[in-house]
Structure 1
Amino acid sequence: MKAIRIYEFGGPAVMQLVDVPRPVPAADEILVSVYATSVNPADYIIRQGGNDLLRPYLKLPLGLGLDAAGIVEEVGSEVKNFKVGDKVYGVPNFPGDGSYAEYLTAKASQFALMPRNISFIEAGALPSCALIAWNGIVELGKVLPGQRVLIHGAAGGVGNLAVQFAKAKGAYVIGTASSYNFDFLKELGADEVLDYKDQQFETLLGNIDLVFNASPVRDNATRLKSADLLKEGGIFVCTQLDSPFSDELKEALAGKNATATHVGGGGLAYVSSLSETTKLIEEEKVKAVISKVYPLEQVADAHRESETKHVRGKIVLKIKEAHEAV
């Protein structure tokens, strides 16, 4: 089968399309024929050699890719919730061989049935970002109807889903983004959108119940300004696992009996998050946002675009044509 592998860390050129053996599922795994995957910031961070959190897990040669949508080809002897032919989406084992491949094996517990009303391309854009957004907004953020939620990086892969999840739960949603994305975010349900470049959100807002920081920019000043906006007992959730909270931020939050946490710190609930995402998509309350679709052979170009950090939604890699599905 064809798959992307890296044999050294570095720029986009280190990714090679090679022939590798098709994997065989273990007893608790499924073999998935992959139709689509997507590009996440973690992919190029891993390709470059990782950060302090990821580096201990990275051993060359290495596959890339966190998301997958496709069809179940085989099931392990212990797998009861899937059958051959099921359309599924999820996040394969990490560390592993990644999803930039024609086939992959993964624990069945990391996949869910695809929403019936979307394509493989749309489904391939969703899993990892849906897990993070759901964890941040629903599980850690404990969002309730009528609450005021501020989302930084609202137009990105995680941010746009956070906007949609918060809105589906009945919150009043405020996003920060570039002015280019204002209309886009309003269409997704945002009640207010502020320009992170030209508008000082800390002077325009207040009385916030939940801040969800999905921005790719590590900026302690933004964290401190966000903390100042929180109500008594508010919640600050951040996606930047590699960037610990400063003592200054902890003190600011403690003064308001507010809490701060990173997404995924206590693990991610794959099945419940993806199943709830599927339900909201089928109810047409949430949708996948696709920036651009590249064939797997153009993965280097896809990474270069992702590294600009100005992608609206997700960049998808097409592995197979949908008409190949039987």
Structure 2
Amino acid sequence: MSTFTVIGGGIAGASIAYHLAKKGHAVTIYDRTDSGQATTASAGIICPWVSQRRNKKWYKLVQEGAKYYPRFIKELEATTEHSTGFQQNGAICLFKDERVQQLAYERISSKQEGSPEMRAVYKLTKEEVKQMHPHLTDAYPAVFVEGGGQINGKQLLAAFKEGIKQHGGNWIQQHIEPSKAEGTVIYTAGAWSGEFTSKPEVHHQRAELLHFQLQEEKVNTSTPVVMGLGPMYIVPTGENQFAIGTTHEDTKEFSITPSEENLQYLHGEAERYFPQTELNAQHIAVGLRPFTRDSLPFIGYVEENTFVVNGLGSTGLTAGPVIGREVADYLSGEETVLELSDYAYF
């Protein structure tokens, strides 16, 4: 078996370390717990089939990620006895009118043959949307995807940490210089990767997510996630609690101080989707999402002994677990499901 040092404890690093440790390799993961980590701030929606992105390599990655999730979560939770917050209550995808709804239904349902894990896909009238999600606006028709789900990033990382330890690996909360690491270095530092290597080139966005509570009678905790108009989405986070997001701001800074302007914007969006309900804003979560060329994750060697995974962007929680599985298989000399050379530009 081989020795690996993983630098960066977000979704990619944690998943790779877990899958390598499970194979019996000697694995140590270092994480300095920088504020603004994308994994813990993310809404965690698992529903890649509704995306309109046409990048086939990206879609193949997230499609395999969604397929892997139920089996992977069952195994991880059984091993660690940690809940990950994984739920599959479906996804309500809203559209501005029936014409756009029909086009979206045709586009989304056409993917079912290649992704049976989507389960049922059907159209909802405005009235049916209201029946399924009683406090949500009835202004828009929707397409419902039964296999849509969500994951809690913070809880998933905690389960990974326990799983790594149970399989003989080490999780150390401190900084380490890559030159002092043992064995093969796997560098998964997200937005902070430029501190060590310029390959691949990584930029990042500030993404803000508003958490709020409904001042109403108890809301069903099995509420589906909602894909709103444009980039807006809503996820249930607890009893009568939801999160809505997100804003996107290209930046070179690492500040995670919430913006008052974005707070007002997101609060306005929450009122738009819950027009008949009083809202109590709780807090804003700020994450720094890393992106690489063409918004396609980079997975591969940049030097003889340095393997980099970065640029997962807004789909990190969808792709992260399967990336861990595939990288562990690749570095163990085993056959992979994905062609990892598709994600290595060097």
Using the size of structure 1 for normalisation, the TM-score is 0.24
Using the size of structure 2 for normalisation, the TM-score is 0.23
Higher relative contact order (CA 8 A, sep 6+): 2
